[in-house]
Chains A and B, each alone.
Chain A
């Protein structure tokens, strides 16, 4: 196994417009080129660029030893990645749909986050799990979850969620380079989204730092993934009505950037969390709880736009569109909250 002679040097910063999908590929490409111990495993990841075409050209460039198709056995190939990681490799695994993550629950819950700890710090476990999640693709009840909050109860496991092409690039590179296990969620509904990407080391995200996508003084929206994208669109609509909405893309759910959120809410006094998941037990509920416990002076009760609490994601296209929070729903929730005055206390 050796680095290809023609590996491009990527330390030079360049800014290009690319899709979220291309940004994922660029991140992988740059890390494969930078570090010969990086490899990737998963189901059909090498064939035809992967199921979502995020891996195009990787097997041709880096060879089948480093871009490896696996049998269908997430729990085992993530466990395998752990064994590789603690013995000198830096593996990435692709999980084709976030809905498959629970088949690897032992590896994700009991092994990855705990391995270094239980050994008394004898090892590091730099495994990156790329998980492709999210609804709106008409994939039905078992292929549409984001899974972003399922593994929030695990110190030791970093969790990132990419909302923009820049995040898709920067979060993935940061996760791969970090010596700790990471779960990086990509949203399949965003793969075609275009944006400017700072490529090169300057584009690598800071771990645990949220990004303010749009500044505003009237209300804060905290969001991830597709909901951040939609919240931004909602904020732009509302600007025409004279409302200045601050949109925070959380980027990392662990470590969680409570400071950025607290600072923002300290200015606006109002919060809407926009999440493509259930509110109960998710990061949105946790964020509101933490801010409240910190003594945030709410000028209006915080609100959540999330999946209906007792409904699952259906296939039927118009129904899926009803279930997953739309830009309009986010906008109307923000509008109501922004016009409410007098908080919870």
Chain B
């Protein structure tokens, strides 16, 4: 039963406020997709675009997208989740190195990696769908590493040991211990990989893979019609909403049936056999070659070669622009997440509130150009959006808001998770000691929620810096950014001239990356400082 309805007798003002806030969150999350559906419905069969799409390229493209997404998920779980669990559970020389290697691909946008691959490798394999899947898998692997590292660090291994002591076999332990304890990270990780892969246009188009997103873009850009874009987007929006809803429901239901103690103790790490440790370090190094080191080496080399053709005068302005936009995006996300933490009930007492914010993931499924188009349509002259925004419409505000909606899950899901692990009793006790509602929550959440929020916002900042499509479609007049420069050069096969701008973006991302590395290494207490740990 939803928390807001659990005590019908005392539906208070606070309960009503929570309900309103939860619904507002859901409304915000679904705004672009909802708008596109609303725009599509009256003209869904005009000109038969949907029927045309369904009877020509859609089945093949949907199949291709699904296969690429599943392959990418396998790669991402192998490269991101597996090392995360091992790093959380075991002590070995090289743990920190594995962590750093796992996070380094965050410094590259997928379309940049695709560009370097196509320049570097002319072997047919690197132009095929498997290459696209590997590329997406590698690009998503840092998110899975973070998700699983955070999750595994707080799941006591005692659960599994207790189950074993009670005579449960490996399969039973998997089903009754590991699946429930990892339900949320698996669902969240899978959704992120599927969304990024299915929603991607730039990398697939670059490699000539006929995916669903490419099909949607082709029909939209060829027809230059917003209606056609809305119509064909329906085939992505509806399954995406369904997938996100099922993932949110399944993940939270499994948890509710198999409750994990809130604020569970950190995993107790055991030593890892040296051959296995070296194997993991070698595996991480190998995976980081195509995901980071080779593109990075090429980028540095190109930047060096094209140094004399770089317009240095533009660099400070572009850096400030990009940093300003990304900071604003991260702040908007932080504000929404902080409000969520302050207004919603903690301790897993509000199923609806736990599930609704997952809907933000549906925006990640939408190709970002289509998401940007939704904002263009919503803020059209004479629309309510344009009236509300006034002259703000012609600023970078729309870029910030659309990016915040798209990247919200990176911060919102960890915050929800932390919220669930905070016993409501802690807040209530703080209240009985005289703390106000906000102060009580600040104290109760201090240990883990704010750090989850900080990590999430660091990720949002990095993603916003790399983001291209929203800036391209919604840029105000006179706006420039490194991402736009990279795009302009790479469109003409001049990846070498884009290199300096890639490096500038990476410089801006260094601080949040260091923060992520530091936080990842601190997770699970000071076990790494024990003898034998590194």
Q: Do A and B bind each other?
A: no
